[in-house]
Chain A
Amino acid sequence: MSQETGQPTVTLTIDGMTITVPKDTLVIEAARQAGVMIPHFCYHPKLAPDANCRMCFVEIEKMPRLQTSCSTKVAEGMVVRTTSPTVQQARKSVLEFILANHPLDCPVCDQGGRCDLQDFSHEYTPPVSRFTELKRVFPKEYFSALIETQMNRCVQCLRCVRYCDQVMDVKALAPQGRGTLTEIKSFGHHELDCEFCGGCVQICPVGAITSRLSMYEFRPWMLKRAETICGYCGDGCEITLQTKENRLIEVNSTLGGGRNNADLCARGFFGYHASTHPDRLTTPLVRKDGHLVEVTWEEALETVAAQVGWVKDEYGPEAIGGLISARCTNEDLYLFQKFMRLVLGTNHLDSSVRYGYMNAIEAFRRVQGLHRWTVTFDDVVAADTLMLIGTNVTETNPITGLKIKEAVKQRGARLITLESLKPVRGTISNIATLATHHLELSPDQFGIGVLGLIKAVFEQGLVDSALEQEAPEYVGALRTKIEAITWDRLLAHSTLTPSMFHAAVRTFEQGARSIVVVGQGVLRSPGGYATMVNIHDVLLLLGRLDRPGCGIAALAEENNEQGAIEMGAVPDLLPGALPVSDPEARRAVAASWGQEPPRTPGLTMMEMIERAKTGHLKALFVVGENPLGSLPPSAGVAEALDRVELLVCQELFLTETAQRAHVVLPACSYAEKDGTCINTEGHTQAVRKAIEPLGESRPDWEIFSALSVLLDSPMEYETAKDLTKEIRNMIPASRVLGPAPLPPRPDREVLRRYILGGYRDDLDGRLTPPPVTKTTGTMTLSFAQSLFHSGKFSTKAKGLLKIQSAGVANLNPQDAERLGVRTGDRIEIRNEGGSAITPVRAWERVPEGVVVFPEHFDQDLRQVMSVTVDPRTGVPYCKLARVSVEKV
């Protein structure tokens, strides 16, 4: 037994060293811990042992033959030798066998210089080969636009295939044939069709599977590397950006690095070229005679300072607003809100968390008194039961998805999915296929699904007795409300039955460690906030909200939405997510800033747009945000922008919004700057500069800093580090870089307040199923995130465009048949808002009655979206519409 952990251990000898390791450790692992590297190909810590390459042989006393150390577990008193002459001879021989058919084309192989086969051969192989026969030659075949296979180099360790299955649950790779003629293929002679996570490229120990994005562009030793964080989604994967002469060459991820632990998705692995797209803005622009013309930084900044100074003097700080993207670093976000509050004197600032994540944060704050998850990815992996509600998790948060898959596939967790998915297998993983209980819902029905859960909790008598004692009124009020809603009413639009809900909540309740994961399907749909609060009720009723290892994980879309909250880049929260309305909080901030932030409540994004439309908001700073491109025309963004007197955009590209700006300031992408960001589970991580800023572009924070000087309230920082320091001092929770901080526990006081009365004020509204929509349409159109894109930034990445370059309306094959269309045909999507024509694809996993369209390519289709604004959180809902669909 180990003293510290109580875990059983085993003591053994490896090459004369005595070492104690946990029971069930593999010999190869134990050796590594003893500092002995045993050469291997097929072994990989992420994969179940397969022992196929026979490279990792060791001698073990009392065992007759050489043993593969990758598949042999340690035993008490075992004596292992890893370098005896027999072992060395066996290694040589395995390499001789592998090299027999290997083309020895290292000079034209991108793996050269970091190839296991090369390294081991260097160590063990004699210079002359005894193989004089004909080498087996596989003809070259087209594999895919992004990934190249060179099967003559393959050592048949099957790491790629095993990874694709065991980790990704994708199963797109097929070893075809048998014996020495085995080749890795996809399906028949078809091009690879998969998630393009790049895992096979990364896990291949040789050069058999390589990326075509960087083919022949480098030798590994020429590359400079920067450990940084992927800028695409809230999962916050650690990546290594490899560069050569200020060009981005490739992305890697390392075992043991970051929350993703070597796993990535297509965006992370193939999406890096967006940063260096030729359309990047590289010089400041100022509008002169109606045209944006290139100017010097000096002129641009002076123009901005003069104009905003004038607006402030003329109309007061209340006439100025700002919007920032949650893809910016903490440093950018922090300095932006400081700039708005301190230099310009207004709380009218908002960020892209307003598109949905804010619903989660507001519900967290209200019920649990915190603004973070109470669980981590590790808790997700260790959970007994997991419930997903409207997550579309593979597409939106692929790594969270992997943690869920790990929990289910490797640890036997039970999964309940309330998703708008049919559990049909394909070569893009489908989380619903792993579910023990799958409740298929239309994308506008997640709120109803949660009401069904509440109803089922009561009907199954699963209400936590302690809660019933502590807050009988709360329980009673919920019971009365929910009993008044009939199942007929709830399930009018689905094929689900009450017993499915009963079974789901029973299963969920059986887990001691149970977690609910909530996604954009909830957070960005009408009633998102209410549903989020209702989900809290479900966990409260089951007694699971305040238990260790239990909780609600709401998924952030953009990579630093959590950072935007913590930095105070929203109107009513200061850094540390302290309320602006709290005088004590303002005083605390003043202690650092030397001045109190304004106390007047700020406007949310939609309020600012409204205010601009009526001519009351005169100047708008837009940083990395593109409301004109993101919101549908019915939101009136164009009208609003037409009326503002000063529109300043800090941008990478000349977006729809930037095209209307008076001044455009070229900003740096994440690849060109230092800083920190916080992922969806609340983990603070370092963003590191990989290349020098393109052209004259500058980090956003630097621009705010420069403007502050011109505006006579200097906020001067030498480097991003100085800002990081200031942030750390202000926000204790973000002090830690590295392992995830212990997640916070719900604030008992706040919880009590909620169950003893706080729940009441909106109970009627929350526990009422939304009225059946009256509009004409026949189908529900849902703008959803695609796995291959993230916002519109990724549509500048050439790699991702090779996978998906345009939007296609996805329909269930039965609907397609009914409409008389087949994949590749075109349909018209229409409602009172407008219409657009798009190609279709019949896809089995889309539920009947639903059209799924990737939001990144939504331009024309946005006309059919109307906007409703959440009354409590100001979140604009514009991702769902009832439409009619016709073949054209």
Chain B
Amino acid sequence: MAGSIFDHLQEEVQDIIGRYPVKRSALLPLLNLAQREEGYVSEEAMKAIAALLDLTPPQVYETVTFYTMFNLKPIGKFHVQVCKSLMCALVGSDDVIEWIREKLGIRVGQTTDDGLFTLSVVECLGSCATGPMMQINDDYYERLTKETVCRILDELKQQGDCPLKSGPFMVPEPTS
């Protein structure tokens, strides 16, 4: 589609569509791609995807709204998502939420004035042995303490990255 957000991604788009015998299957991957590009899923993106996959815009919309990871509106540069499910709650995730609220001065669901951070609470992210934890954009940060939370937020703000993010997961860690 001319003038769509996928213009410069033709190859990737075609590669994605090519993975499936039925076009519609490419819907979630393309939505993920759109969100990667724009930070959220815009109406224009939904329409462009509909056209690519022979769907109607409502068909794309109904799918988008079923999944919690898609943002329908622009959000902060860093999406801070704290797990609040029971396993993390047992080891202090409520505190983590409090710390972040304090540190950033926002409530859950809000974005900082500088547009950098949006805070959400989410359900289990598959890190129950390494809680409390949060996900910021693609990365997991685990076994959070007040210090690490502050450091992570500071470094993200200053450097856009933080080495405290988790690498390949293994718990307990092997003795070396």
Contact = CB atoms under 8 A, between A and B. Distances in A.
Given A188-B43, A425-B50, A176 B55 contact: no
B62 A176 contact: yes
Interface in A340-383: none
A844 to B, nearest CB: 8
B61 interface: yes
A115 to B, nearest CB: 26
A174 B54 contact: no
Interface in A130-184: 161, 170-178
A860 B169 CA distance: 73
Given A177-B66, A178-B66, A187 B54 contact: no
B22 to A, nearest CB: 14
A37 interface: no
A424 B57 contact: no
Given A188-B43, A424-B51, A425-B50, A173 B58 contact: yes
B61 A188 contact: yes
Most buried by B among A161, A170, A174: A174
Interface in B37-56: 43, 46, 50-51, 54-56
A171 B61 contact: no
Contact of B58 (A174, A424, A433, A844): A174
A426 B56 contact: yes
B4 interface: no
Contacts of B61: 174, 176, 185, 187-188
A174 B62 CA distance: 5
Contact of A177 (B46, B54, B55, B65): B65
A169 B50 CA distance: 15
B54 to A, nearest CB: 5
A175 B43 CA distance: 16
Nearest to A433: B54
Nearest to B55: A425
Contacts of A175: 62
A427 interface: yes
Contacts of A174: 58-59, 61-62, 65
Chain A interface, >50% SS class: loop
B56 A176 contact: no
B56 A425 contact: yes
Given A177-B65, A178-B66, A172 B55 contact: no
A220 B90 CA distance: 57
Nearest to A183: B65
Given A171-B56, A187-B58, A427-B56, A176 B65 contact: yes
Contacts of B56: 170-172, 187, 425-427
A427 B57 contact: yes
A673 B8 CA distance: 63
B65 to A, nearest CB: 4
A171 B59 contact: yes
A378 B117 CA distance: 61
A392 B62 CA distance: 29
Contacts of B72: 188
Nearest to B47: A187
Nearest to B67: A178
A710 B43 CA distance: 68
A186 interface: yes
Interface in B91-143: none
Nearest to A429: B56
A153 to B, nearest CB: 20
Interface string A176-215: 1110000001111000000000000000000000000000
A425 B54 contact: yes
Interface in A403-425: 424-425
A658 B125 CA distance: 74
Given A188-B43, A424-B51, A425-B50, A178 B58 contact: no
Contacts of A424: 51
A433 B61 CA distance: 20
Contacts of B66: 177-178
Contacts of B50: 425
Chain B interface, >50% SS class: helix
Interface in B51-85: 51, 54-59, 61-62, 65-66, 72
Contacts of B62: 161, 174-176
Most buried by A among B51, B54, B56: B56
Contacts of B51: 424-425, 844
A424 B65 CA distance: 24
A426 B60 CA distance: 12
Contacts of B55: 171, 425
Contacts of A177: 65-66
Interface in B1-53: 43, 46, 50-51
A441 B61 CA distance: 33
A186 B58 contact: yes
A209 to B, nearest CB: 15
Most buried by B among A173, A424, A425, A426: A425
Contacts of A188: 43, 46, 61, 72
A426 B59 CA distance: 11
Contacts of A170: 56
Most buried by A among B46, B57, B58, B72: B58
Contacts of B43: 187-188
Nearest to A817: B2
A177 B63 CA distance: 9
B55 to A, nearest CB: 6
B65 A187 contact: no
Contacts of B59: 171, 174
A170 B56 CA distance: 8
B46 to A, nearest CB: 8
A175 B46 CA distance: 15
Interface in A97-138: none
Nearest to B72: A188
A185 B54 CA distance: 20
Nearest to B68: A178
A306 B46 CA distance: 69
Nearest to A175: B62
Contacts of A172: 56, 58
Contacts of A427: 56-58
B131 to A, nearest CB: 25
B63 to A, nearest CB: 8
Contacts of A176: 61-62, 65
Interface string A554-597: 00000000000000000000000000000000000000000000
Contacts of A425: 50-51, 54-56
Most buried by A among B55, B61, B62: B62
A733 B58 CA distance: 47
B90 to A, nearest CB: 25
A458 B84 CA distance: 72
Contacts of A426: 56
A52 to B, nearest CB: 15
B163 to A, nearest CB: 36
A548 to B, nearest CB: 35
A424 B50 CA distance: 10
Interface of A: 161, 170-178, 185-188, 424-427, 433, 844
Given A172-B58, A427-B56, A427-B57, 20 more contacts: A161-B62, A171-B55, A171-B58, A171-B59, A173-B58, A174-B62, A176-B61, A177-B65, A185-B58, A185-B61, A187-B56, A187-B57, A188-B43, A188-B61, A188-B72, A424-B51, A425-B51, A425-B54, A433-B54, A844-B51
29 contacts: A171-B56, A172-B56, A172-B58, A174-B61, A174-B62, A175-B62, A176-B61, A176-B62, A176-B65, A177-B66, A178-B66, A185-B58, A186-B58, A187-B43, A187-B46, A187-B56, A187-B57, A187-B58, A187-B61, A188-B43, A188-B72, A424-B51, A425-B50, A425-B51, A425-B54, A425-B55, A427-B56, A433-B54, A844-B51
Interface of B: 43, 46, 50-51, 54-59, 61-62, 65-66, 72
Which 5 A-B residue pairings sit nearest by Cβ, starting from the closest?
A: A174-B62, A174-B58, A176-B65, A171-B56, A187-B57
